[in-house]
Amino acid sequence: MSTTGQIIRCKAAVCWEAGKPLVMEEVEVAPPQKHEVRIKILFTSLCHTDVYFWEAKGQTPLFPRIFGHEAGGIVESVGEGVTDLQPGDHVLPIFTGECGDCPHCHSEESNMCDLLRINTERGGMIHDGESRFSINGKPIHHFLGTSTFSEYTVVHSGQVAKINPEAPLDKVCIVSCGLSTGLGATLNVAKPKKGQSVAIFGLGAVGLAAAEGARIAGAGRIIGVDLNPKRFEEAKKFGVTEFVNPKEHDKPVQQVIAEMTNGGVDRSVECTGSIQAMIQAFECVHDGWGVAVLVGVPSKDDAFKTHPMNLLNERTLKGTFFGNYKPKTDIPGVVEKYMNKELELEKFITHTVPFSEINKAFDYMLKGEGIRCIITMGA
Catalytic residues: 47-49, 69-70, 99, 102, 105, 113, 117, 177, 372
Question: Where on the phi/psi map is residue 296: left (φ > 0), alpha (ψ -120 to 50), or beta?
Answer: beta
3-state secondary structure 216-231: HHCCCEEEEECCCCCH
CB 237 within 8 A of CB 209: no
Cα of first residue to Cα of last residue in the chain, in angstroms, is 22
The dihedrals phi and psi of 354, each to the nearest 5 degrees, come to -70, 155
Q: What are the CA-CA distances from residue 94 to residues 214, 251, 348 (Å)?
A: 24, 41, 19
Cα(111)–Cα(118) distance, rounded to whole angstroms?
11
Cα(310)–Cα(314) distance, rounded to whole angstroms?
7
Residues paired with 350 in a beta bridge: none
The closest of 41, 35, 29 to 3, measured between CA atoms, is 29
Cα(73)–Cα(90) distance, rounded to whole angstroms?
6
State the sign of the Cα–Cα–Cα–Cα dihedral 133, 138, 144, 145: positive
The dihedrals phi and psi of 72, each to the nearest 5 degrees, come to -140, 145
- Complete edge-to-edge strand list for the sheet that includes strand 291-294: 242-244, 221-225, 197-201, 267-270, 291-294, 316-319
Residue 112's identity, in one-letter code, is M
Q: What are the CA-CA distances from residue 231 to residues 123, 179, 369 (Å)?
A: 36, 17, 10
The closest of 248, 308, 301, 298 to 277, measured between CA atoms, is 298
> Hey, how many other C-beta atoms are within 10 angstroms of the C-beta on 304?
11
